[in-house]
A and B are shown apart, each in its own frame.
Chain A
């Protein structure tokens, strides 16, 4: 199996039950997908199972893929739905934006990190302390390099909402940085 086949070629092969193509697609995307899911569910075992379930769903449904979005966007959207389903079961409440926005991380406070004196570490710590909703959009834009349209498709909200959400995520990040003694003044 050629490693340089396009995503579309791989999906077409997978639709024909080509096991090697499924393996190539898995190798190509599993790490980023796993990390995305892990940042949502915060459990290695569950993140691994969900990652495999995403690729299993691709294996089963590749023939029905309509190429309206990129393959990676499709993978992330499936992964997000599965992660939210798990989070719903875990919390036994409807996971709306209010709920998700409260699921902040519990890492060191900015003050504690500030004492460690590393500006990059402070920034990372503050990002980790964002709510799931805010950290997710930061991750999708900066780490996964998704466009506004792609983030919109993955998260399932309009593009303007994504722009607004990113703005408020960065604003919250500024507030956390300020608490840690870093006043950048913008946004």
Chain B
């Protein structure tokens, strides 16, 4: 796009270009005085100010009409700064059991974490992961479903329940969604769970079991993944 500068705008006095800031009261005093002097000689000054005031009101109304973020956003932020300490055991990839144990209530656990753990258990019960068998292997956990232990289930808009780690950034999550051709359809729910719809069009997401297995190994980003009903 060609760069435009002030000189390329014909028939517009630079003072007029400052009027938006003049109306919001965010001009420096010296500039404000210059605009005052300019407007004093302009018969259309009142109409200009009214036009900008209408724009301002509509912009404010448009922003105020937006819903706010989730009520638990502050709680999630505080949880992240609480977790934002050097991790002594960084680099050790836990197996599923160890990983899940980390979610279970322990003495002294903050109330919010207790609630999240309880919710995790409830959510697990609500998913087909209740029928999962867990095989711990040296190279990480492998899951099989009780209902379909061997055959692969093609993905076509399957939904997963995912909880991301505190270290996972939005950038990384977005990249991951691209890898599995997934999109977050709702969340975060209580406990930080998201529902992710996977379309199964990428090599990573050829079938639901492989996708869950693949995701479960991404322990730096994901602390829980299961098929949602």
Q: Which residue numbers of A lie inside 8 Å of B, CB to CB?
A: 19, 22-23, 26-27, 30-31, 34-35, 38-39, 43-53, 55-56, 59-60, 82, 85-86, 89-90, 96-98, 101, 120, 123-124, 127-128, 138-139, 141-143, 145-148, 150, 160-161, 163-164, 166-168, 170, 173, 184, 186-187
In the docked arrangement, what's the CA distance between A89 and B12, Å?
39
> In the complex, which residues of chain B have a beta carbon less than 8 angstroms from the beta carbon of A145?
24-26
Flag if B6 contacts A56 (CB, 8 Å). no
Flag if A123 contacts B55 (CB, 8 Å). yes
**CB within 8 A of B1: which of A101, A163, A184?**
A101
A46 (CB) vs chain B CBs: closest residue: B170
CB distance from A80 to the nearest CB of B (A): 14
> In the complex, which residues of chain A have a beta carbon less than 8 angstroms from the beta carbon of B135?
none
Q: Which of B65, B77, B194: most chain A Cβ within 10 A?
A: B77
Band of interface residues on B:
35 or more
CB distance from B149 to the nearest CB of A (A): 33
CB distance from B54 to the nearest CB of A (A): 6
Flag if B24 contacts A141 (CB, 8 Å). yes
If over half of A's interface residues share one DSSP class (helix, strand or loop), that class is named, otherwise mixed; here it is helix
CB distance from B70 to the nearest CB of A (A): 6
Flag if A127 contacts B62 (CB, 8 Å). yes
- Say if the beta carbon of B91 comes within 8 Å of chain A: no
**CB within 8 A of B73: which of A43, A48, A89, A138?**
A48
In the docked arrangement, what's the CA distance between A62 and B77, Å?
16
CB distance from A117 to the nearest CB of B (A): 15
In the docked arrangement, what's the CA distance between A169 and B184, Å?
32
Flag if A85 contacts B77 (CB, 8 Å). no
In the docked arrangement, what's the CA distance between A50 and B174, Å?
11
Flag if B170 contacts A82 (CB, 8 Å). yes
**CB within 8 A of B5: which of A44, A123, A160, A184?**
A160
* B46-85 Cβ-contact flags toward A at 8 Å (1 or 0): 0110010011111111110111111001101110111010
CB distance from A181 to the nearest CB of B (A): 15
CB distance from A34 to the nearest CB of B (A): 5
Q: Which 10 A-B pairs have the closest CB atoms?
A: A123-B58, A142-B59, A49-B170, A147-B26, A142-B56, A124-B62, A143-B63, A34-B69, A98-B1, A45-B184
Flag if B48 contacts A186 (CB, 8 Å). yes
- If A142-B24, A163-B18 are given as contacts, then 7 extra A-B residue pairs at C-beta distance below 8 Å, sorted by A number, are A23-B74, A23-B78, A55-B77, A124-B61, A142-B56, A146-B26, A166-B20
> In the complex, which residues of chain B have a beta carbon less than 8 angstroms from the beta carbon of A60?
84
Flag if A56 contacts B174 (CB, 8 Å). no
> In the complex, which residues of chain A have a beta carbon less than 8 angstroms from the beta carbon of B56?
142
B51 (CB) vs chain A CBs: closest residue: A184
In the docked arrangement, what's the CA distance between A146 and B66, Å?
20
> In the complex, which residues of chain B have a beta carbon less than 8 angstroms from the beta carbon of A186?
44, 47-48, 51
